[in-house]
Amino acid sequence: MKNSRTICLLIFIGFCQVALLHAQTIRLSFIPKYGDKAMLLSDSAFKANDSTDLEIAELKFYVSNMQLLKNGEVVFTEGNSFHLLDAKQAQTLQLSMDTKQPITFDELKFDLGIDSSSNVSGAMGGDLDPTKGMYWTWQSGYINFKLEGRSKHCETRNKEYQFHLGGYQSPNSCLQTLRFQVDNPNRIALILNVKAILDKLDLAKTNHIMSPCTEAVMLSQMVANAFKVSKN
């Protein structure tokens, strides 16, 4: 009796090892930057330059539906793939994906934002819990991307700008699909250059987007273009 139990245990451990050998962990980190400067946020706002005329106070966004591809074919799809990234919480910027088998891939694909079917599915948990501050309240729908701060160019209360981008219904669907060729597959680093977004905006004119609209779609495209693979 005892013997057979030990044997079972050994076989089990053996299996686990085989499984472990075959599993592969892919680490993906997101690095918010302002031009060349690292941009980690804390309770005090990030000052883009010394004269403090541009500040970034909040940067939060969803990435979802992670997939890995080889020669254009999907080789891995992450289950329950919804991640809320918050520049104030460094640990949220590090993602890891475990594949069951070893895979080779040359491309990463994901969505910036939350797909339309999740937007009409009622209350959800985890990173999608509406307590996370990324759900509109007066109107249903997730905020895909949030960027807030101040600029001397804004003639608004406290010189604030606020961009809450989202919307899942056409023609104002803001969801963006991003694809990147990757050559160091087990560690991928993506830079989000906030300067590239803000430089293209005239903050005196555009400083407040808080609901689904054409501007939100345009800005979402600009945000998508501000992601780049880090070369080092």
Binding residues for other proteins, per CB under 8 A? Answer: 119-125, 128-133, 135, 137-141, 213
End-to-end CA distance of the chain: 56
Q: What is the largest CA-CA distance in the chain?
A: 80
To the nearest whole angstrom, how small is the minimum distance from the Cβ of residue 92 to other proteins? 16
To the nearest whole angstrom, how small is the minimum distance from the Cβ of residue 133 to other proteins? 7
The residue among 136 and 180 lying less far from other proteins, judged by its C-beta, is 136
Long-range contacts of range 35-38, CB-CB < 8 Å, 24 or more positions apart? Answer: 35/193, 35/195
To the nearest whole angstrom, how small is the minimum distance from the Cβ of residue 60 to other proteins? 14
To the nearest whole angstrom, how small is the minimum distance from the Cβ of residue 6 to other proteins? 36
Report residue 73 as tokens: 């074919």
To the nearest whole angstrom, how small is the minimum distance from the Cβ of residue 132 to other proteins? 8
The residue among 71 and 117 lying less far from other proteins, judged by its C-beta, is 117
The residue among 72 and 171 lying less far from other proteins, judged by its C-beta, is 171
Instruction: Return the H-helix or E-strand segment holding 87.
Output: none
The residue among 14 and 130 lying less far from other proteins, judged by its C-beta, is 130
Gap between the Cα atoms of 180 and 116, Å rounded: 23
Gap between the Cα atoms of 173 and 187, Å rounded: 31
To the nearest whole angstrom, how small is the minimum distance from the Cβ of residue 222 to other proteins? 21
Torsion angle defined by CA atoms of residues 33, 37, 39 and 42, in that order, rounded to the nearest 10 degrees:
-170
For residues 232 and 72, is the Cβ–Cβ distance under 8 A?
A: no
C-alpha pair distances (Å), 5 with each of 8, 9, 16, 24: 5, 6, 16, 30
The residue among 132 and 228 lying less far from other proteins, judged by its C-beta, is 132
The residue among 46 and 142 lying less far from other proteins, judged by its C-beta, is 142
> Angle at CA 142, nearest 5°, toward 228 and 82?
55
Report residue 13 as tokens: 């451990």
